[in-house]
Amino acid sequence: MSRPSAHTQMNQYETDLEKYLFLDDLHDRNEVLFYKVLVDNLSETLPIVYDPTVGDAIKQWSKDYRRSRAIYLSIDRPEDVRASFETLGLGADDVDLIVVSDAQEILGIGDWGVNGTDISVGKLAVYTAAAGINPARVIAVNLDVGTDNEALLNSPAYLGNRHPRVTDARYDDFIDLYLKTASELYPKAMLHFEDFGPSNARRILENNRDKYRIFNDDMQGTGAIVIASVFPGLKVTKESFADQRLIVFGAGTAGTGMADQISAAMVRDGLSREEAKARVWPLDVDGLVTDDMPNLPNYQAAYARPASEVADWTRTNGAISLLTTVEQVKPTVLIGTSTAHNAFTQEIVEALSAGVERPILLPLSNPTERIEVMPTDAIPWSKGKALLAVGIPVEPVPYEGTDFVIGQANNALLYPGLGLGTIVSGASHVSDGMLLAAAEAVASQVDPSALGASLLPSVDDLRASSAIVALAVAKQAMKEGLAANNPENLVQAVEDGMWQPVYPETSA
């Protein structure tokens, strides 16, 4: 009698959280088999090992604690940072990638302190499954700087530091210590930052991207996948980035990261930096962000609109609404990262479609209960005019005889290949040019010319897609003089760099 496969065993469980726990246990018991299940069933398993199911697992992490695959670093014991890494016994040439989080802004669920450890573990699992990053050459790190989650602080089961988040100079010193130590011990590793708070994320990236091989997926990766969504849309509208007017609804880490990438693309298409910023309108819970608002965080201040510019715009309870902004600006691109479900009402979508012939509409919040508008509404409300990509997997939308295929703006389409290309080339930094090359490589995999065509490729062929992205990124690193490695056959080098989930051969 044959034994059931691991994939069959996984599907015996009813809930995704139960499947997550099964796969987590399998990861501990048999890493090769764990990745074989993931690689052979990527579209099915990625939402289980990462977003959104990992969020449910994180909420239960302290209560369900089994073991941790991550290095734990406490802000209360900075003297242990180097020693903690050294317990791994890995040398300077043994590590390609480190993912670190302080868990302040986990996905859409907020601050989960040390419970957020598995966000780094899950991210590395996607890197390996999607792009073949060798799991023996990666490290997951949790930075425990406290938590402001009162429920955790008052829970007897909570395993982290029982004090509020440290926000003074000690926090910056701790980040500096982490970067210095990690880069000294593992000088070839890409240092990936994940789910940091908005102000911290931007400050850490801006202060350190020229000194270290650092990458922030929430800002740079999310921004680049939006660029990848816009590229095919521009092929349809026959415009350039310099022609765009962008509204970002939800001006946090992700939203401003998208504004950064799109405004940088505007500059590459001929605008000055100031001209590019003048084509971005950010909105948050208080409406349109203007420069007379008190205590603007650094990530919003860069794009705040002059108060004098909008002095005569209609206000509701003192705020300039999204609808008013859409009517005034007539945006060519509307992005949603607000997690405000159904915020893009019929009136807003109709106003967007009245302003330009083929608007690019990107409601990217997830999971489903947080998306700004469902495609089943957006397509008919726009009369099929909107060029749409979303942050969740959705079925095609039939409308007037055409099935509109809706691409998922999933960062997993981009960051695994970006990481692989960085590793293969030995790039000293992750440059804007490398991010753009990754976005173009993703966009190159679709043909948007037909009515209803997707703006993004499917995750079903993610390993092949990641190889295409890696090749483009490595070529760009070499072009910019950032590459330490310059293989004669770059295609073969990328293929050779992709670890496969197979058992090693043993000698007879």
**Active-site annotation, residues:** 50, 123
**DSSP category for residue 316:** B
Contact between 316 and 334 (Cβ < 8 Å)? no
* Side-chain half-sphere CA neighbours of 454 within 13 A: 19
Please list the residues that pair with 390 across neighbouring strands.
408
Quick count: other Cβ atoms within 10 Å of Cβ 354?
A: 14
Contact between 189 and 214 (Cβ < 8 Å)? no
Q: Pull the structure tokens for residue 56.
A: 């449910």
What is the helix (H) or strand (E) element at residue 418, kind and residue range? Answer: helix 415-425
Contact between 119 and 47 (Cβ < 8 Å)? no
**Under 8 Å CB-to-CB from 63, ≥6 apart: which residues?**
157
What is the helix (H) or strand (E) element at residue 170, kind and residue range? Answer: helix 169-185
Residue-by-residue DSSP string for 203-256: HHHHHHTTTS-EEEIIIIIHHHHHHHHHHHHHHHHT--GGG--EEEES-SHHHH
Rounded Cα–Cα distance for residues 100 and 119 (Å): 9
End-to-end CA distance of the chain: 28
Tell me which amino acid residue 179 is: L
Q: Pull the structure tokens for residue 139.
A: 């490290």
- Could you give the 3-state DSSP secondary structure of residue 400? coil
Rounded Cα–Cα distance for residues 272 and 280 (Å): 13
- Could you give the 3-state DSSP secondary structure of residue 149? coil
Phi, psi angles (nearest 5°) of residue 286:
-95, 15
- Could you give the 3-state DSSP secondary structure of residue 376? helix
Three-state SS annotation for 98-120: EEEECCCCECCCECCHHHHHHHH
Contact between 440 and 430 (Cβ < 8 Å)? no
- The Cα diameter of the chain in Å comes to 82
Quick count: other Cβ atoms within 10 Å of Cβ 5?
A: 13
Rounded Cα–Cα distance for residues 170 and 438 (Å): 35
Length of the chain: 508
Contact between 330 and 355 (Cβ < 8 Å)? yes
Rounded Cα–Cα distance for residues 137 and 152 (Å): 32
